[in-house]
Amino acid sequence: MQAYAGIDAGSRTIKIVLLGADGRVLASGLRDQGVEVVKLTEELLDRLCAEAGLGRSDLTGTIATGYARNVIESADTTVTEITCHAAGVRRRHTEARTIVEIGGQDSKVIHLDNSGNVRDFAMNDRCAAGTGRFLEMVADKLEAPLGALGDLAAESTAPSAISSMCVVFAETEIIGLLAGGERRADIVAGVQHAITSRVAAMVGANAVKPIVFTGGVALAPGMARALAASLDAEVQVAQDPQMTGALGAAVLALRMGSERD
């Protein structure tokens, strides 16, 4: 049986998708990232192959993406996250023209042409203040579960102003707001606005619709609503948004295999 693997070795998690020669998803899964990136990736790949009834010899092509892509020994080649996210989103959202991806430690905006090719993109990877890591810090400081932040933000009547552009300074700012008596709901709403307004500036004023929101932060309750408000536009959350990069890598591996045949 021929199969194709896409591996997204991200900053916070490792994601893998296996596709059959017909493009059907055979197996997919993720695990937390760690120091032993190669070992963790190989273990996950072995487990998913077993679930799909595959041997490693059945993998006709494997593409790695993500920040650790260059150390993945089982990959035949590597492809950038930009290209993989574009391919993954278009696989499930064929009309997508603008992609917003917010992951564990960076955020990206990808503009596509009518054919789904990457026209241009913007990236913020210099600071974690617009990423999942920032939301984790906020949940910790507010002593609230990460999944509860959306409900908290919905209770806000006057979102706090979060001005710091760096997660370290923003943490200090949030501590100060709490000490000053700011409501947790208003702080969360202010954080969501700070993140999404920064992304909206990357998107620009003339984003072509449909706009698809992907990456792990797309799963955070309330973030899609906050992004739509900052963009003043409808936002679709990608199907299984955390797996988009790995899916795109698998799609590209399948495409390359078909071209060889």
Tens-digit pLDDT profile for residues 19-40: 999 999 999 999 998 889 999 9
The pLDDT value given to residue 178 = 92
Q: Reply yes or no on whether the pLDDT at 161 is more than 60.
A: yes
Integer Cα distance of 116 and 215 in angstroms:
18
* Torsion angles phi and psi, residue 182, rounded to 5: -65, 140
Integer Cα distance of 249 and 125 in angstroms:
21
The pLDDT value given to residue 163 = 80
Q: Do domains 3-87+243-260 and 95-238 have the same CATH topology?
A: yes
Contact 155, 185 (CB under 8 A): yes
The structural domains of the chain, with segments of one domain joined by +, span 3-87+243-260, 95-238
The domain made up of 3-87+243-260 has a fold known as: Nucleotidyltransferase; domain 5 (3.30.420)
Q: Reply yes or no on whether the pLDDT at 16 is more than 60.
A: yes
The helix/strand/coil state of 145 is coil
Q: How far separated are the first and last CA of the chain, in Å rounded?
A: 15
Overall average pLDDT of the 42-65 stretch? 96
Share of the chain above pLDDT 90, in %: 67
Overall average pLDDT of the 164-181 stretch? 84
DSSP letter for 61, please: E
Share of the chain above pLDDT 70, in %: 97
Which numeric CATH code is attached to 95-238?
3.30.420.40
Q: Reply yes or no on whether the pLDDT at 90 is more than 80.
A: yes
Q: How confident is the model at residue 133 (pLDDT cuts 50, 70, 90)?
A: confident
Integer Cα distance of 134 and 187 in angstroms:
13
Nearest in space to 244 (alpha carbons), one of 28, 22, 12, 20:
28
- Distance from CA of residue 143 to its chain's centroid? 24
